[in-house]
Amino acid sequence: MKLRHLLAIPALLAAQGVHAQERTTDPLAPLAQCINRSEFQFKTQDRLPASATTRVVKMAAGERRVSTADGYRLMLFRKSSLPFVNLKIERSADGQFAADRETIVAQMQQMSASSKLPHQVPLETDARQGVEVLGSNNASIAQAQGIISLYSLLHAASGTVATAYLLNQPADPRDFATDAQYQALRDQFLASLVSCMADPAQ
């Protein structure tokens, strides 16, 4: 089963145009700005409403929730006029990161386990600079009309979760035309994101 059949991009915003007036701080702003200093920059930056304190994660055994003390959705572009990444960055509520991580890891494991040959999507795991990285990739860009790869990145030290949907670009102009070109850009993006999560002030 392909990633596009496994995934449905959850809506980050509960209500369009709602501003988080209750907030007095913006803990994710340095991370967003660090990402924007990379080769992958956002054209839209939507902040999670302060009233949206959790998001639903659908599991086979039922719905679970992940805390969202704050969050942004960033549509990232490189050279193309088409987006390359739909990125969510979220801050877990105080004391909730461990439980949020458990839910996110379980979701990623379940999605991988439910994929079937000949389009099985294994779960890849890694740890870099204190950031845990979990990823699922379609074997080829030809197999993905929408989402090519899904990554969840978890930084325990700051309680930050990033969810990255890497998108196919079916029309010109595009940033990649081959699997090798896509994989190089994917790895470049992940390295930038990991580095910013580890140290947003760089």
56-81: pLDDT as tens digits: 999 989 999 999 999 999 999 999 99
Q: What is the pLDDT of residue 116?
A: 74
Q: What is the pLDDT of residue 114?
A: 87
- Altogether, the residues listed in the chain come to a count of 202
Say if residues 1 and 115 touch (Cβ distance below 8 Å). yes
Hey, what amino acid is at 180?
A
Q: What is the pLDDT of residue 19?
A: 42
Say if residues 48 and 23 touch (Cβ distance below 8 Å). no
Q: What is the pLDDT of residue 119?
A: 72
Low-confidence ranges of the chain (pLDDT < 70): 1-22, 117-118
Given its phi and psi angles, is residue 92 left (phi above 0), alpha (psi -120 to 50 degrees) or beta? beta
